[in-house]
Amino acid sequence: MNKVFTNAAHAVEDIADGSTIMLGGFGLCGIPENCIAALVKQGTKELTCISNNAGVDDFGIGLMLQQKQVKKMISSYVGENAEFERQLLSGELDVELVPQGTLATRCMAAGYGMPAIFTPAGVGTEVAQGKETRNFNGKEYLLEMAFDADYAIVKAWKGDALGNLVYKDTARNFNPLMAMAGKITIAEVEELVPAGTLDPNQVHTPGIYVHRIFQGQDYEKRIEQRTVRKQLPF
C-alpha cells in the first residue's frame, strides 16, 4: 500500500461535502496548515469539524469559517475568533462545546474501538442535557459517545513512507489521539523520510493508523498569543 501523496491537494481531494473531519492542533500549535489551505481552495462545504480550537479569524480553521465551509463545530475553546462568534450568534453555525478532557477521551475511545465513555465532567451542567448518567460508587458520571469521524487530519514533525509519525514538543497535543480515530487519517509532516529511518522507540503514532502522508511546505507556525515582558534597564 503506497501511502505517500504528492501534496495536500492530492491528499484531501476526495473529502466530500458533508464530511466529518478531526483536525489536530491546540490553538495554532501543531495544526495541519497545508491541508486546511487545500480544503479552503477546494471549497469543500457543509463540514463538521472536531478540533480543540476554531483557529483565529485569518488563520487555521478560521479560514474555513470565513468561506462558510463549516456547518458544525465541535470544540473545547473558541474564544479567539470573532467570525466564529458572529456565525454562532446569528444561527449560521451549529456549535457543540465539549470539556477539553472529554474531547480528548472521546477521540481516544474512537481510536480504541470503544463506543462510549463515562466521565464526571459536565454532570449537573448544560453539557449533560439529554444525556444518560449513571452512578458508580456513589458518584454520578455522564455517558459520552466516541467520535465518528470520516477523516482525521494531523500534523507531525517527521514521518516515514509507512506512515510512522514523530511529533515535536507541544505540537504533539491532540494529534496522536486524532490520528488513531479517523476512518481515514491524513498526515502532513515537515520532513518525510524513507521507511526504516526513524528510531522505533521515538515513534508516537504507528503507521498502522495512517493512510496518507505527504511532506508539507511553507509552514507559517503562527503564534496565537505572544506574552513578553518589558526589557529590564540593565
Do 179 and 206 touch, CB atoms closer than 8 A? Answer: no
Supply the pLDDT for residue 78.
83
Supply the pLDDT for residue 191.
97
Level-2 CATH architecture, domain 8-116+148-215: 3-Layer(aba) Sandwich (3.40)
pLDDT for residue 233 is more than 80:
no
Supply the pLDDT for residue 3.
96
- Residue in the structure block whose three cell numbers are 463538521: 48
pLDDT for residue 226 is more than 80:
no
Q: pLDDT over 90 for what percent of the chain? A: 86
Residue type present at position 174: F
Q: What gap in Å lies between CA 47 and CA 17, rounded to an integer?
A: 6
Give me the chain's average pLDDT, please.
94
Nearest alpha carbon to residue 50 among 151, 197, 162? 151
Q: Report the predicted TM-score, pTM, of the whole model to 2 decimal places.
A: 0.92
Q: What gap in Å lies between CA 11 and CA 61, rounded to an integer?
A: 18
pLDDT for residue 46 is more than 90:
yes
Q: What gap in Å lies between CA 187 and CA 176, rounded to an integer?
A: 11
Q: What are the start-end ranges of the E strands in the chain?
A: 20-23, 47-50, 70-75, 94-97, 116-119, 133-136, 139-145, 149-160, 165-166, 182-193, 212-215
- At residue 71 the predicted structure's pLDDT band, cuts being 50, 70 and 90, is very high
- At residue 224 the predicted structure's pLDDT band, cuts being 50, 70 and 90, is confident
pLDDT in tens, 127-156: 999 999 999 999 999 999 999 999 999 999
Q: Which residues does residue 22 pair with via DSSP β-bridges, in sequence order?
A: 50, 152
- At residue 25 the predicted structure's pLDDT band, cuts being 50, 70 and 90, is very high
Supply the pLDDT for residue 12.
97
- At residue 72 the predicted structure's pLDDT band, cuts being 50, 70 and 90, is very high
Name the residue ranges covered by the structural domains of the chain. Answer: 8-116+148-215
Report how far Cα 201 is from the mean position of its chain's Cα atoms.
24
Supply the pLDDT for residue 152.
98
Task: Rounding to the nearest 10 degrees, give the CA dihedral for residues 50, 103, 60, 223.
Answer: 180
